[in-house]
Each structure stands twice: as structure tokens, then as C-alpha cells.
């Protein structure tokens, strides 16, 4: 996974969390193949927890960018 794709994910999540939903909701479904390079991710909002599920082993750099 490249850093550009992760930065795109961070932007998408930022936009979707501007008005955080009051109930559980899937914010990102990469496995739907709408975002090339992010197919191994889903992100769910379980107030107040943002749950990122990774379905493929990633290098440490991936998690570093994700935590920025």
C-alpha cells in the first residue's frame, strides 16, 4: 500500500467524521473495490471508537501513516 492511498483514506474519514454519526456506522468499505489500493481495509464508527480492520498483513510504515 502506498502512502498516497493512505492519505486519501485519512481525507475521506476526516470528511465523514466532520459530523460524527450518533450510531454505529461503516465509514469506509475498501473491500467493495471502489478505492484501488485500499481493498484490505474497512473502517467503522462505534461511538466513540473508530475501528480500523485490516485484512492483509501490512508493514510498519502503513500503521505510522495511519496514526498521523
DSSP 49: E
Contact 43, 13 (CB under 8 A): yes
Contact 39, 30 (CB under 8 A): yes
The parts of the chain modelled with pLDDT lower than 50 are none
In degrees, rounded to 5, the angle at the alpha carbon of residue 26 between the alpha carbons of residues 21 and 45 is: 50
Q: What is the pTM of this model?
A: 0.80
- Residue 60's pLDDT is what? 85
Tell me if 37 sits within 8 A of 1, measured CB to CB.
yes
**Phi, psi angles (nearest 5°) of residue 48:** -100, 25
Amino acid at each position: 500500500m502506498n502512502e498516497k492511498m493512505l492519505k486519501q483514506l485519512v481525507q475521506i474519514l476526516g470528511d465523514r467524521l466532520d459530523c460524527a454519526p450518533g450510531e454505529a456506522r461503516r465509514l469506509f468499505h475498501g473491500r467493495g473495490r471502489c478505492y484501488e489500493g485500499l481493498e484490505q481495509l474497512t473502517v467503522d464508527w462505534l461511538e466513540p471508537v473508530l475501528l480500523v480492520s485490516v485484512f492483509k498483513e501490512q508493514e510498519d510504515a502503513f500503521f505510522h501513516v495511519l496514526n498521523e
